[in-house]
Structure formats: structure tokens, C-alpha cells
């Protein structure tokens, strides 16, 4: 398939791997890129810019295809060394960056001067239009179904994607609920130029996470995610477990007065324990409703090849068949 996204990023298939904390290591990104998609290294999983520089070098040793780096801008008392991370990206020769979180305008000049193309994750049309106006080359439009932070508007992709297509001039990919060929064809039909998958890529053989995490996704249904931190207006979709139930109980008990300190035990620093040590009940971790569509743990290449082949079959046989009827 040729779309504006495959042309923009010089990739074979319009399939992007989203940035994922303690998942987006070089192994993950290289596997996706080698299979014809766009792999993405998660920048802030690396504790320092030097660590990111090393991870970029590792990824470059594993693939000669384009890959990107995710850089997420989060509110923090002590902000990460964003200029240092940008320098590591530029010096590493990376030409694609996925930004997320707060407005990335502060780093755009440095990235643009280095010829880097920027795709920004957005959960609303108004944020996507803002990203377009400040010079982002593309956006990832994240519907309410997505794992992680879906924003506060609660708009699912059946509405959000056509709205984005109506308003945007730049290319965009659909994120949230994306898992298979049906997802890709639907995203294209709704106006997107490709799709972004995150949760689905965790359930692959190359994903550098503990097997317990992959098995948890395999066992989950579409009813097994929960929304936490809604009173804080920092809503996050996570896989349900005991820690998540504890957070929700605190939210019910404390109400609007709840503060992040009240739930820090369940959300603070849990990703290494979950993703690397396999303690899937250690705390809250991001997971999309798409877990209900995860039925196997293929290689990344098997997954992408299957998606592309089945998408072509849907377009050429199923959809054309309706026209011929």
C-alpha cells in the first residue's frame, strides 16, 4: 500500500509502532522497521541522553531501515534534559521523531534544522490542528479506545478519524483499537493514512518484555481495561489488576480532593517491575481495549505480513464484492 505516510517516512507499509515505556527498546523498533513498518525507540525509557544515544546506535546495528524515536513531554518538578535528548537524536542521524504529551514547539526548531520529520500524538482534532499549525509533519490521532492517555474528550475513532480527515491537511495515522487488517482498512476508509499499533506489538515474540506481560494480553478481553486518574484530569487506560482496583477505590473514597501522592504507590516507577520482571500486578500499566483482539503471539514480521495480506484481500474481494452485488 502507498499512502502519504509511507511516502513521508519512506516505509513499505502504513503501520507505525507507537512509543511505549519500557517496551520501545532497539529490539522492538528494529523488528518493526525490518518488517516494513516504522519502528520507534522510546526516548525517556533511557534515563539519560547518553543512554538514548547508545540505544539509537544499537537499533542502527539491527536495521538499515528508517526508524524513529519517541520523545514525550510530561509535566514534572524536574524536567528531563530535553535538549540533551534532542541532541542525541540529531547526532544519531534519526530522521523521524514521534512527540507526545505537551506541545512540542520548544524542540521543533532544532529537529527541523536537522531535517527531522515530526509526528505528534493527539487525542483531539483541536490539538491536531495546533500540531499542524506549529509545523509538525504528521499527527497520530488517538481515539478513546487507546491504551495510555486518551485525553478528556472521550471521542472514539469512528467519530474522531473522520473529523480529523475533515480538518487536517497533513497526513495522520489512526491510533487506538488498531490490531489487524480490519483495523487498517477501516482506518484508511475513515480518512487516515495508516495506523499506529502499540498494545498489539507487545504481544509479539520480539517484544522485549516478560512473557507474563504477553500472556496477560493474550488472556485479556475488551472488557478488561479501566480508566484511572480521571479526577486528576490525567486519564489513563490500563489493564485491570489488584493495584488498579485499589486506585479506583481511593478515587471513590477521596473524590475530587485526590492527589497524585495518594496513588503514587500504584503508579510510580512500576514499569520495570511489570515489563522486565513480569510482576503484572505490581501497579497500573497502559493497555488498550484492543487486547480483546489479541489471540496469538506471532513474530513482528508474521503480524505485519498477515495484516497487509488480509487488508489487500478485504479491499479486493470483500469490498469489491459489495459493489458487484
Distance CA 71, CA 87 (A): 12
CB-based contacts of 34: which residues, under 8 Å, 6+ apart?
Answer: 62, 63, 65, 300, 301
Other beta carbons less than 10 A from residue 295's beta carbon? 10
**Residue 260 maps to a domain:** no
Nearest alpha-carbon partner for 58 in 85, 32, 28: 28
pLDDT bucket at 295, cuts 50 / 70 / 90: very high
Backbone phi and psi for residue 305, each to the nearest 5 degrees, phi listed first: -60, -40
Nearest alpha-carbon partner for 284 in 246, 230, 323, 256: 246
| pLDDT, position 86 | 98
More confident residue, 75 or 256: 256
Q: State the average pLDDT for the chain.
A: 97
Domain span at 142 = 4-208
Please write the tens of the pLDDT for every residue from 15-55: 999 999 999 999 999 999 999 999 999 999 999 999 999 99
| pLDDT, position 134 | 98
**Residue 250 maps to a domain:** no
Please write the tens of the pLDDT for every residue from 182-234: 999 999 999 999 999 999 999 999 999 999 999 999 999 999 999 999 999 99
| pLDDT, position 77 | 66
* Helix (H), strand (E) at residue 42: strand 39-42
Distance CA 315, CA 237 (A): 32
* Helix (H), strand (E) at residue 172: strand 172-175
Residue 217: all three cell numbers together: 494480553
**Residue 174 maps to a domain:** yes
| pLDDT, position 76 | 73
Please write the tens of the pLDDT for every residue from 73-123: 987 768 899 999 999 999 999 999 999 999 999 999 999 999 999 999 999
Residue 157: all three cell numbers together: 475513532
Mean pLDDT over 147-158 rounds to 96
**Residue 54 maps to a domain:** yes
Question: CATH no. for residue 109?
Answer: 3.20.20.70
**Residue 161 maps to a domain:** yes
Q: Helices then strands (H, E): number in the chain?
A: 15, 10
**Residue 289 maps to a domain:** no
Mean pLDDT over 158-172 rounds to 98
pLDDT at 325 over 80: no
Give the residue carrying C-alpha cell 493527539.
122
CB-based contacts of 3: which residues, under 8 Å, 6+ apart?
Answer: 14, 171, 188, 193, 194
**Residue 34 maps to a domain:** yes
Strands 39-42 and 67-73: parallel
Number of folded domains that form the chain: 1
Residue 278: all three cell numbers together: 513480569
Other beta carbons less than 10 A from residue 236's beta carbon? 22
Distance CA 45, CA 271 (A): 10
Nearest alpha-carbon partner for 38 in 75, 3, 61, 69: 69
Q: Is 124 within 8 Å of 157 (Cβ atoms)?
A: no
Give the residue carrying C-alpha cell 521523531.
97
| pLDDT, position 74 | 85
Q: Under DSSP, is residue 121 helix (H, G, I), strand (E, B) or coil? A: strand
| pLDDT, position 78 | 81
Distance CA 160, CA 126 (A): 11
**Residue 303 maps to a domain:** no
| pLDDT, position 75 | 75
pLDDT at 140 over 90: yes
Amino acid at each position: 500500500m502507498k499512502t502519504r505516510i509511507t511516502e513521508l517516512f519512506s516505509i513499505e507499509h502504513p503501520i507505525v509502532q507507537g512509543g511505549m515505556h519500557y517496551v520501545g527498546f532497539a529490539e522492538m523498533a528494529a523488528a518493526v522497521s525490518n518488517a516494513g513498518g516504522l519502528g520507534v525507540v522510546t526516548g525517556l525509557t533511557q534515563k539519560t541522553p547518553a543512554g538514548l544515544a547508545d540505544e539509537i546506535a544499537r537499533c542502527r546495528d539491527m536495521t538499515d531501515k528508517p526508524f524513529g524515536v519517541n520523545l514525550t513531554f510530561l509535566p514534572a518538578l524536574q524536567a528531563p534534559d530535553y535538549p540533551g535528548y534532542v541532541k542525541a537524536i540529531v547526532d544519531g542521524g534519526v530522521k523521524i521523531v514521534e512527540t507526545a504529551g505537551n506541545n512540542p514547539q520548544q524542540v521543533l526548531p532544532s529537529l527541523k534544522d536537522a531535517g527531522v520529520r515530526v509526528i505528534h500524538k493527539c487525542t483531539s482534532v483541536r490539538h491536531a490542528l495546533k500540531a499542524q499549525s506549529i509545523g509538525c509533519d504528521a499527527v497520530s490521532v488517538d481515539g478513546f479506545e487507546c491504551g495510555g492517555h486518551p485525553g478528556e474528550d472521550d471521542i472514539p475513532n469512528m467519530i474522531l478519524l473522520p473529523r480529523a480527515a475533515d480538518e487536517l491537511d497533513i497526513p495522520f495515522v489512526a491510533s487506538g483499537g488498531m490490531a489487524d487488517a480490519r483495523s487498517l482498512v477501516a482506518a484508511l476508509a475513515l480518512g487516515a493514512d495508516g495506523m499506529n499499533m502499540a498494545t498489539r506489538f507487545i504481544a509479539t515474540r520480539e517484544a522485549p518484555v516478560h512473557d507474563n506481560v504477553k500472556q496477560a494480553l493474550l488472556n485479556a478481553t475488551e472488557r478488561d481495561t479501566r480508566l484511572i486518574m480521571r479526577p486528576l484530569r490525567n486519564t489513563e487506560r490500563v489493564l485491570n489488576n489488584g493495584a488498579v482496583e485499589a486506585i479506583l477505590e481511593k478515587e471513590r473514597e477521596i473524590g475530587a480532593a485526590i492527589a497524585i501522592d495518594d496513588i503514587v504507590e500504584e503508579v510510580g516507577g512500576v514499569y520495570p517491575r511489570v515489563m522486565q520482571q513480569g510482576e503484572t500486578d505490581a501497579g497500573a500499566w497502559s493497555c488498550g481495549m484492543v487486547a480483546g483482539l489479541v489471540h496469538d503471539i506471532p513474530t513482528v514480521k508474521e503480524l505485519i505480513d498477515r495484516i497487509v495480506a488480509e487488508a489487500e484481500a478485504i479491499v479486493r474481494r470483500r469490498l469489491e464484492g459489495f459493489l458487484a452485488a
